[in-house]
Amino acid sequence: MALDDDIALFKQVPTLALLGDEALRILAIGAESQVVSSGTVLFYAGEPGNAGYVIQDGAMRLLPGTQRDGDSERTLGPGALVGELSLITGNARPVTAIALEETVVIRIPRTLFLKVLEGYPDAARALRDVIAQRVEHYTRDLAPVRARLALGLDDETA
């Protein structure tokens, strides 16, 4: 795929679109295309996150690393970013990603992503703001759960 096609694909990914054209060009130049055969594991839950992947063609199934309430399988297709948090943190991956069919992904190394953020501070601020909004949203969603736990309630006693 041509560089301009990779940039166009990155623009479809909400997190990456925040970065702007120049930053996306650098990501596209430094990223690498990878073919993942059907049934092949791209990464396992618990592994350190060192890259994010944009699905160019095909589909990936994400399986949660634990079976906590609310965890469920998800299937992602073209234009999806797999391993978003791995671009920012080196934390352990929470899911296992398996190709459902032959799948082409574009691998964005974490080191490259962080260097782009250093070089484009406006992009870094935009990303920080979106992440802050998400954290605020998740915190609000967890408030009722936290209150129930403080009272010692669970689904069976409610």
What are the tens digits of pLDDT across the range 27-79? 999 999 999 999 999 999 999 999 999 999 999 999 987 555 455 789 999 99
Residue 100 belongs to some domain of the structure: yes
Domain encompassing residue 70: 3-118
Residue 99 belongs to some domain of the structure: yes
Model pLDDT, residue 101: 98
Nearest to 93 by CA among 42, 41, 49, 54: 49
Residue 88 belongs to some domain of the structure: yes
Model pLDDT, residue 69: 45
Per-residue model confidence as pLDDT tens digits over 13-26: 999 999 999 999 99
Model pLDDT, residue 130: 86
Rounded mean pLDDT, 72-98:
92
pTM summary value: 0.82
Residue 134 belongs to some domain of the structure: no
Residue 86 belongs to some domain of the structure: yes
- Residue 5 is encoded by which pair of tokens? 């096609």
- Residue 74 is encoded by which pair of tokens? 């998800």
User: How many domains, the chain?
Assistant: 1
CATH of the domain at 110: 2.60.120.10
